[in-house]
Amino acid sequence: MQMNPAHHGLCPDFPATAEDAHGWLSMCMARAARPVRPEFAQGFPAHVELRSAAVLIAILWHEQEPSILLTRRTEALKSHAGQISFPGGKVDALDASVVDAALREAWEEVGLAQDRVSVVGEMEVYPTLSGFAIHPVVGIVTVPVSLVPEPGEVAEIFELPLARALDLSAYQRHAFNRGGVTGEYYSLTHEEHFIWGATAGMLHQLAVRLA
């Protein structure tokens, strides 16, 4: 496996190629010491019925600086308008699996073809107070790739450097009280983007797994 000597202190370093990256990510995710749960999970209300959703954590494997694909939702959406998110959405009855749902949503939202994604695996389900059990699917995307935002849902497509996402010191923790449920959530900034809530929480899960 060829490693990029520009990166140090990760697990073990960023591989130079997308093919090597798949094995590296698989190894790091498999050897995580324990399940990583969002901070508020202990106080999650048991009476909330969660609906299944899936997101694709798509890692664009640029040789010099791998990055994670993120979107900014349009302001016209009824829920989570303007927020930063991964491509994803509800798991439909016709989806064969949560992986299929994540890949379908990525195609519909940003035009990412399924055959350009090498799926590595899934992380722990992430419950949200909005009533979803989100299945984070991790995949490697070989670049270059052409992406087109679906104008009804996606206002912007941008990339978060993987090194930034894996820097645990970059995350901030915030207290919340919503509907009588208290806890904490994570946030992360990149340039003008403020990433918070479930998206930041799942990025933090990935960072802990690869630390």
Give per-residue pLDDT as tens, 55-82.
999 999 998 899 999 999 886 756 655 6
The mean pLDDT value of the chain amounts to 85
Q: 154-161 and 67-73: which strand pairing?
A: antiparallel
- The verdict on whether omega for the bond into residue 144 sits within 30 degrees of 0, i.e. cis, is yes
pLDDT in tens, 119-129: 999 998 998 88
Name the residue with higher pLDDT: 130 or 208: 208
Per-residue model confidence (pLDDT) at position 79: 62
- Confidence at residue 40, expressed as pLDDT on a 0 to 100 scale: 55
| pLDDT above 90: percentage of residues in the chain | 59
Beta-carbon contacts of 105 under 8 Å, excluding residues fewer than 6 positions away, are 54, 55, 56, 87, 88, 89
Task: Check residue 8 and give its pLDDT.
Answer: 36
6-24, pLDDT tens digit by residue? 443 445 478 889 999 999 9
What's the whole-model pTM score? 0.88
pLDDT tens-digit series, residues 79-119:
655 689 999 999 999 999 999 999 999 999 999 999 999 99
CA pair distance 113, 46, nearest whole angstrom: 37
Model confidence at 174: pLDDT above 70: yes
Q: Cα 211–208–136 angle (5° rounding)?
A: 125
Residue 141 clears pLDDT 50, i.e. is over it = yes
